[in-house]
Amino acid sequence: MTGPDPLLDPEFGRSALIVIDMQNDFADSGTSPVAGTNDVAPVIAGLAAAYRKANRPIIHVVRLYEGDDVDLVRRAAIASGAQIARPGTAGSQIIAGLLPPGAPGLDPELLLTGAPQRIRAGEVVLWKPRWSAFHRTGLDAHLAGLGVSTLVFAGCNFPNCPRAAIFDASERDYKVVVVSDAISGIAHHHLDETRRIGAVPLQAKVVLDALADT
């Protein structure tokens, strides 16, 4: 695909899929539900399956709340015992169907050290302590080792973590794709915001077709 600025055109043959906060606690029946997260889960599952088939990288980025290393806005709730993405709980686990069959559950002891948890060749989980997938994580270094130019974003609750990661990806000069029907909490004005920083909003079908052509 060619847009008005070729420098922004996604390179799907050099892309990675970034899936943000698709965890049980943020699903409809979770302890901190985000509307629409269940609806986008099948779309994300389709994207993940296509990325596996294409042997392209997938990074699942998750929250784990323990101790006082928590966003300021949620620190009081967590300190009071709120059960949101607690390490080792069922609620902290990635929503069923998004990881490959037979994949292990999250390893919180490993993840909380900042190390990636390998799920399969080319697919890992990373823990992030704040909104952005780049903040105090090894994501940038991990991607650098893969020769990735384009990041394709999907996940939970656009106004918080996906938006922070998308803006940080743009600051690092990645080409950015926002999969508009694979992110919960997204609205038309959010897509306008991302266009202004050079991100390319696309629906999942367009991404799948482009990936298949690589």
Provide the residue ranges of all domains of the chain, joining segments of one domain with +: 11-212
CATH code assigned to 11-212: 3.40.50.850
Task: Check residue 6 and give its pLDDT.
Answer: 87
Mean pLDDT rounded to a whole number for the chain: 96
DSSP state of 70: S
pLDDT classification of 1: cutoffs 50, 70, 90: low
Asked if 60 and 153 touch (Cβ cutoff 8 Å), the reply is no
Task: Check residue 2 and give its pLDDT.
Answer: 61
Pairing of strands 175-183, 150-155: parallel
Task: For the sheet with 15-20, list strands across it.
Answer: 117-120, 123-127, 58-62, 15-20, 150-155, 175-183, 200-202
Q: Does the pLDDT value for residue 68 go beyond 90?
A: no
User: Angle CA(9)–CA(12)–CA(13) in degrees, nearest 5?
Assistant: 125
Task: Check residue 73 and give its pLDDT.
Answer: 93
